[in-house]
Amino acid sequence: MVWMLIIFGVMFVLFAKVFVPKVGGTIDGREGKIAGDIAEARRLKDEAEAQASAAAAETAEARARAQRMAAEAKAQAQAEAAARQAAEEAKLNEKLAAAEASLSAARDQAMGNVQSIASDTAEAIVEKLTGQAADAAELKAALA
């Protein structure tokens, strides 16, 4: 019994003075390392969030620039198309005016010929019906 008490006392002292402090130091070291790792992870997370927000801002700015460039290109293309359309309309209006002038001249010429054709036709009809040549003054009066 005495030997048991002595061995128990020695073991108690060894555990209290040697083994427990070493294990406690290891546990404290691990806790410190875990706390440091958690703090580092939080710092890296905050840094990553800051970089992500900066990248999102750059993306939004690039998108706005692209939309602005697309709008400018569209406006320029519309202006060029309007200028080409105006030029084509001017050409068509010129051709239309020339065609109308040509038609007017042809109509005037045809109308000038109608008088002589009507006179010749009336003279032929009168001669055929009456057997005598028609008087030019009577024909002019009848056609007027």
Listed by start position, the domains of the chain span 2-143
Kindly report, residue by residue over 13-33, the tens digit of the pLDDT.
988 888 878 887 888 889 999
Question: What's the whole-number mean pLDDT along residues 37-49?
Answer: 96
Angle at Cα 56 formed by Cα 52 and Cα 58, nearest 5°? 115
The residue type of 18 is: V
Any residues with CB less than 8 A from the CB of 126 and at least 6 apart, and which?
132, 133, 134, 139
Q: pTM for the whole thing?
A: 0.44
The answer to whether the beta carbons of residues 101 and 121 sit under 8 Å apart is no
- Residue 9 — very low, low, confident or very high, per pLDDT cuts 50/70/90? very high
Helices (H), the chain: 2-14, 20-130, 136-143
Specify the higher pLDDT residue, 132 or 36: 36
Specify the higher pLDDT residue, 46 or 140: 46
Q: How far apart, in whole angstroms, are the C-alpha atoms of residue 86 and residue 92? A: 10
Q: How far apart, in whole angstroms, are the C-alpha atoms of residue 129 and residue 123? A: 10
Phi, psi of 57 (to 5 degrees): -65, -40
Name which of 8-22, 51-65, 87-101 the model is least confident about: 8-22
Kindly report, residue by residue over 58-79, the tens digit of the pLDDT.
999 999 999 999 999 999 999 9
Q: How far apart, in whole angstroms, are the C-alpha atoms of residue 17 and residue 11? A: 10
